[in-house]
Structure 1
Amino acid sequence: MKSTTPERGFAPAEFEARTARAQALMAERDLSGLLLMTEPEVRYFSGFHTLFWQSPTRPWFLFVPATGKPIAIIPEIGAALMRQTWLEDIRTWAAPAPDDDGISLLSDLLSPFADKRAKIGVMKGHETSLRMPLGDWERLINRLPGLKITDVTDLIQGLRMVKSPAEIEKLAHICAIGSATFDRVPEIVANGMPLDEVFRSFRREALAQGADDAPYVVGGSDQGGYADVISPPSRRPLRSGDILMIDTGCTWDGYFCDFDRNWAIERADDTARRAYDVLWRATEAGIAAARPGNTCQDLFRAMAEVISEMDASGGDIGRLGHGLGMQLTEQPSHAEFDTTELKENMVLTLEPSLSYGHGLMMVHEENIVVRPEGGHLLTTRAPSELTVI
Structure 2
Amino acid sequence: MDLDPLLADTEPFTAADYAARMAAAARAAAEAGLAGLLIAPGPDLTHLTGYRPVDTERLTLLVLAADREAVLVVPALEAPDAAKAPGAGALTLRDWADGKNPYDATAPLLDATGRFGVSDNTWALHLLGLQRELPGTAYAPLTDALPMLRAVKDRRELARLAAAGAAADAAYAQILHVPFADRRESDVAADLAALLRVHGHSQVDFTVVGSGPNGANPHHEAGDRVIRHGDMVVLDFGGLLHGYGSDISRTVHVGEPTAEERRVHDVVREAQRAGVAAVRPGIACQDVDRAARAVITEFGYGDRFIHRTGHGIGVTTHEPPYMIEGEEQPLLPGMCFSVEPGVYLPGRFGVRIEDIVTVTDDGVRRLNNAPREMAIVE
TM-score (norm 2): 0.89
Structure 1 runs not aligned, ≥5 long: none
- Supply the distance in 2 between the matched residues of 1:78 and 1:8 (Cα, whole angstroms): 26
For 1:358 and 1:8, the matched residues in 2 are separated by 47
Inter-partner Cα distance in structure 2 for 1:373 and 1:90: 43
The equivalent residue for 2:128 is 138
Q: Quick check: 11-20 or 243-252, which moved more? A: 11-20
How many percent of aligned residue pairs carry the same amino acid? 25
Counterpart of 2:180 in 1: which secondary structure? coil
Is 2:62 the counterpart of 1:67?
no
- Root-mean-square deviation over aligned CA pairs: 2.6
Give distance in 1, aligned partners of 2:32 and 2:57. Answer: 34
Summarize deviations over 1:8-46 as a string: whole Å, max 9, x none. Answer: 431233223322322333333454321122411111221
Alpha carbons of 1:349 and 1:77: their partners in 2 closer, same or farther (altered >3 Å)? farther
Give, as a single letter, the amino acid of the residue that structure 2 aligns with 1:34.
Answer: L
- Which residue does the alignment assign to 1:360? 349
Indicate if the aligned counterparts of 2:37 and 2:117 stay in contact, CA closer than 8 A.
yes
**1:382 aligned counterpart, secondary structure:** coil
CA distance in 2, matches of 1:44, 1:316: 33
Q: State the alpha-carbon separation in 1 of the partners of residues 32 and 177 from structure 2.
A: 56
- Aligned partner of residue 150 in structure 2, secondary structure: helix
Write the letter of the residue equivalent to 1:198: V
State the structure with bigger RCO (CA 8 A, min sep 6), 1 or 2.
2
Aligned in 2, Cα 1:26/1:190: closer, same or farther, shift over 3 Å? Answer: closer
C-alpha contact (below 8 Å) 2:216/2:345 kept by paired residues: no
Name the aligned partner's letter for residue 74 of structure 1: V
C-alpha displacement at 1:301, in angstroms? 0.8
Following superposition, the deviation at residue 295 of structure 1 comes to 0.9
Q: CA deviation at 1:177?
A: 1.0
Contact between 1:3 and 1:176, CA under 8 Å: does it hold in 2? no
The 8 Å contact of residues 192 and 238 in structure 1, kept in 2 or not, is answered as yes
SS at match of 1:308: helix
Instruction: Within 5 Å, give how 1:162-177 maps onto structure 2.
Output: 162-177=152-167
Q: CA deviation digits over 1:267-300, x for unaligned, max 9? A: 2111111111111111111111110111111101
In structure 1, C-alpha distance between the alignment counterparts of 2:169 and 2:140, rounded to whole Å: 42
Q: Whole-Å Cα distance in 2 between the matches of residues 75 and 370 of structure 1?
A: 40
Shift of 1:186: 1.7
SS in structure 2 of the partner of residue 251 of structure 1: strand
| Contact 1:262–1:386 (8 Å) recurs in 2 | yes
Could you tell me whether the CA contact under 8 Å between 1:73 and 1:91 is conserved in 2? Answer: yes
CA contact (8 A) 2:341 2:352 kept: yes
- Which residue does the alignment assign to 1:48? 51
2:175 aligns with one of 172, 180, 185:
185
Shift of the 286–373 alpha-carbon distance from structure 1 to 2, 3 Å rule, reads: farther
Q: Which amino acid counterpart does residue 191 of structure 1 have in structure 2?
A: A
Paired residue for 2:244? Answer: 255
Q: Hey, what's the Cα distance between the residues in 1 that align with 2:12 and 2:339?
A: 27
Superposition map of 1:292-371 within 5 A = 292-313=281-302, 315-356=304-345, 360-371=349-360
2:232 corresponding residue in structure 1: 243
Deviations 1:226-255 (A, max 9, x none): 222323322222211011122112111321
Please, which moves more after superposition, 302-311 or 354-363? 354-363
Question: Do the aligned partners of residues 385 and 137 (structure 1) sit closer, same or farther apart at CA in structure 2, a change above 3 Å counting?
Answer: closer
- Whether the 8 Å CA contact 2:278–2:288 is kept in 1: the answer is yes
Question: Secondary structure at 2:62's aligned position in 1?
Answer: strand
TM-score (norm 1): 0.87
SS class of match (2:38): strand
| 1:123 aligned partner, one-letter code | V
SS in 2 for 1:276: helix
Distance 1:187 1:94 in 2: 55
Deviations 1:43-78 (A, max 9, x none): 12211135x33xx44332110122354211122343
* Deviations 1:62-113, CA, capped at 9 Å, x for gaps: 1012235421112234323322333341122345x6x73x222112333xx2
The amino acid of 1:309's aligned partner reads: E
Structure 2: any 5+ residue segments left out of the alignment? Answer: none
One of 161, 175, 180 as aligned partner of 2:151: 161
The answer to whether the Cα contact below 8 Å between 1:177 and 1:209 also exists between their aligned partners in 2 is: yes
SS at 1:141's partner residue? helix
Deviations 1:191-244 (A, max 9, x none): 212111111111111111111011211230016x72223233222222110111
Count how many residue pairs are aligned between Structure 1 and Structure 2.
372
